[in-house]
Amino acid sequence: MEVSLRQIGSDSRHILENLFHYYIYDMSEFMGWNPDESGSYSFKSATLDPYWKDINSVPYFLYADNELAGFALIRKYPDDLEVFDIEQFFVLRKFKGKGIGKNALMAILANHPGKWQIRILKENEAALKFWLSATRNVVGNCYQFSLDIDVDLEMHFIRFEKVS
């Protein structure tokens, strides 16, 4: 399955917003979010504004054989602008376990060589397993793994450097 990235233009933002509802639904298991009165897991659209206003933020759609498979929101980490950060990463359930995420990570790193960090919620064991495997796939054992505080949450951090 061929995996590709496409930067999301403002004309396709509505597609990302629709996908973001699925992401929030999946993450509600770990974040304790509850549906609103209408039964949906809503979010404020303004949450995505930096991806069209800030040069340090880049939104990508993930494609598998030209079929939309998810998204990745990449940014320079606000506390250290020398470090790239995967703010949000989502692969649709239909594509999970098929190498889409790992191949997308390789493509992202090819587009943005340098220092990286990946933050994972402590409760999300499946994501931790995926990110450790995906990281090893790219940099072998040349990464640091720790528990740190991100804003107000203790999270797993994977840090590494990917040169071009």
Number of C-beta neighbours around residue 149 at 10 A:
9
| pTM attached to this predicted model | 0.89
Predicted local distance difference test score (pLDDT) of residue 151: 84
* Backbone φ, ψ for residue 60 (5° rounding): -130, 145
Cα separation, 37 vs 39, whole angstroms: 5
Among 80, 96, 104, which residue's Cα sits nearest to residue 129? 96
Q: Which residues pair with 155 in a beta bridge?
A: 121, 148
Q: Please name the residues in contact with 151: beta carbons below 8 A apart, sequence gap of 6 or more.
A: none
- Asked whether residue 16 carries a pLDDT value surpassing 90, the answer given is yes
- Per-residue pLDDT band for 153 (boundaries 50, 70, 90) equals confident
Cα separation, 131 vs 55, whole angstroms: 26
- Asked whether residue 55 carries a pLDDT value surpassing 70, the answer given is yes
- Asked whether residue 106 carries a pLDDT value surpassing 80, the answer given is yes
Q: How many residues does the chain have?
A: 164
* Backbone φ, ψ for residue 124 (5° rounding): -95, 80
